[in-house]
Amino acid sequence: MQNASSDSKYRTIRPAFTETTPTEHMRETIDIHCNEGTCSRIAIGSVEEDFASMLPEDSPRVIIVTDARVHSNNLAFINSYERIVIGQGESSKTLVKVEEVYRQLLAMGADRSTFIVGMGGGIVSDITGFAASTYMRGVRFAFVPTTLLAQVDASIGGKNGVNLDGYKNIIGVFRQPEFVLCDPSLLSSLPDREFRAGLAEVIKAGIIGDPTLFELLERHTFEDLRGNDELLRDAIVRAIKVKTAIVERDECEHGERRKLNLGHTFAHAMEKSFTNLSHGEAVAAGMAIICDAANRKGILDTATCDRIKAVIGKMGLPLEYPVEMRKLLSLIRSDKKREGSGIYLVFPKSIGDCIVEKTATDRLEEMFPGNRPTETSSVESESENME
């Protein structure tokens, strides 16, 4: 495998984005035009150079919501604004935590003109977006995502929710952030495991809607992506473009947006039953499960199935799952994507093309035969549950 710096083909794959506007310091913006004329702007740029200029001029007050780790890594920037610091991990993503944010906003005298910014990973984005969407019936908000998973997925598209009794994102709203500022330089301090978790969502984007992105991941290694800023930036922008294009066509998930759930139905079941698995790791294993099922159904050819699993494995993500299939299927029957006696599942047909099928829940055992769970030591090395 060649390094990115020596790959002559790499220079030919930079996409031309018709909705992208470069500035003198390489900021790129992608606008999502949604229902009722609303617009959410995604910027790939620099927090230091772009943040202040993206704040709305008619919001006299800015409050940042962040977690303790992000706060400690960005003290000078965050401390220049009023702030609320929340806990880390999935255990913080609850209505109890949202109530705490409400109370702090009230104590700070925040009103409807206050602009709230969530700076952190996916959990910070969810809590901030949900709290802002419901505080005083909704105040304006934005995100500065600091993890790869949040930059390419969690902060994009207007889904804001919290967990209840172990069920992922079962309570939430659709409401777009005014802007999302993705600064790839913020990812340099991420542990390898957390960076890999984000790559699962990048792989997903390639499978759903960008063969060139998938081929980029095939040609390069985990180390290439960590060490080459230009390569990483292209991967981030391409993944964002896949999601924003789908969200613009189907903001509230009545049809095509369901494709973004590739691997997630099984991932959420794994996360509910095995807390040492990060979200990205669970998504990776979930995609492997669904690819095998698509192959058995004759939807996905064996060669393409093998290509997908090869990229997942090459990036250091799990292909196996540490929970018995019968337990996963039992949990899936309570998934929020269930409607009546059926559940929507996403199956890849080829690289860049997926279909959504409503599957009867009483056929799940037939479609997903039980397998023994794998050893879990490979995913228990770090206790922090990633966003």
Per the model's pLDDT, the better-predicted residue between 294 and 12 turns out to be 294
Domains in the chain: boundaries: 34-188, 191-387
In terms of CATH architecture, what is 191-387?
Up-down Bundle (1.20)
pLDDT band, very low/low/confident/very high, at 373 (cuts 50, 70, 90):
low
Give the Cα separation of 301 and 293 in Å (integer). Answer: 11
Task: Give the pLDDT of residue 39.
Answer: 87
User: Could you count the other beta carbons within 10 Å of the beta carbon of residue 314?
Assistant: 16
Which one of 3.40.50.2300, 1.10.287.1080, 3.40.50.300, 3.40.50.1970 gives the CATH number of domain 34-188? 3.40.50.1970
What pLDDT is recorded for position 25?
Answer: 61
Per-residue pLDDT of 117-159, as tens digits, reads 999 999 999 999 999 999 999 999 999 999 999 999 999 999 9
pLDDT tens digits, residue range 309-334? 999 999 999 999 888 999 999 999 88
Could you say which DSSP state residue 150 is in?
I
* DSSP-derived pairing of the beta strands 61-67 and 114-120: parallel
Closest Cα partner for 131 from 107, 104, 154, 91?
104
Q: What is the dihedral of CA 229, 1, 386, 333, to 10 degrees?
A: 130
CA distances from 166 to 155, 163, 268, 303, 365 (A): 21, 6, 9, 36, 23
> Crossing angle, helix 325-332 and helix 264-273, to 10 degrees?
110
- Could you tell me what percent of the chain has a pLDDT over 90? 76
pLDDT of amino acid 38: 77
Give the confidence band of 168 by pLDDT, cuts at 50, 70, 90.
Answer: confident
Count Cα neighbours of 217 within 13 Å in the Cβ-side half-sphere. Answer: 29
Provide mean pLDDT across the span 204-213: 98
- Among 9-18, 136-145, 347-356, whose mean pLDDT is lowest? 9-18
Give mean pLDDT, residues 250-269.
94
Residue that wins the pLDDT comparison between 251 and 13: 251
**Structure tokens belonging to residue 362:** 């009483």
Alpha carbon separation from 3 to 187, 196, 218 (Å, rounded): 20, 18, 12
Give the H/E segment covering residue 276.
none
Question: For residue 30, what are the β-bridge partners?
Answer: 42
Hey, is 231 helix, strand or coil? helix
Q: 89, exposed or middle or buried, with CB in 10 Å at 0-12, 13-18, 19+?
A: middle
pLDDT range class, residue 37, cuts 50, 70, 90: confident
Identify the band that residue 335 occupies on the pLDDT scale cut at 50, 70 and 90.
confident
Least confident of 89-93, 132-136, 356-360: 89-93
Q: What is the mean pLDDT of residues 80-108?
A: 94
The whole-angstrom separation of Cα 69 and Cα 51 is 20
Averaged confidence pLDDT in the chain: 88
Radius of gyration of the chain from Cα atoms? 20
Question: Do 34-188 and 191-387 come out as alike in CATH topology?
Answer: no
Calculate mean pLDDT across residues 146-174: 93
Residues labelled as active-site residues? 137, 159, 201, 243, 253, 257, 261, 264, 268, 279
pLDDT of residue 3: 38
Are 14 and 8 contacting, i.e. CB atoms less than 8 angstroms apart?
no
pLDDT reported for residue 380: 32
Q: How far apart are CA 193 and CA 197, in angstroms?
A: 6
- What pTM was estimated for this model as a whole? 0.87
> Which SS3 state, helix, strand or coil, does residue 163 take?
strand
CA distance 216 to 203: 10
What is the sign, positive or negative, of the torsion defined by CA atoms of 239, 244, 249, 255? positive
Q: Is 181 left (phi over 0), alpha (psi -120 to 50) or beta?
A: beta
Cα dihedral across residues 309, 315, 320, 325: positive or negative: negative
pLDDT in the model for residue 171: 94
Kind and range of the H or E run holding 111: none
Residue with tokens 């196996």: 320
Q: Which two tokens stand for residue 76?
A: 């000078």
Per-residue pLDDT of 209-235, as tens digits, reads: 999 999 999 999 999 999 999 999 999
pLDDT at 325: 93
User: Which pLDDT score, from 0 to 100, does residue 64 have?
Assistant: 98
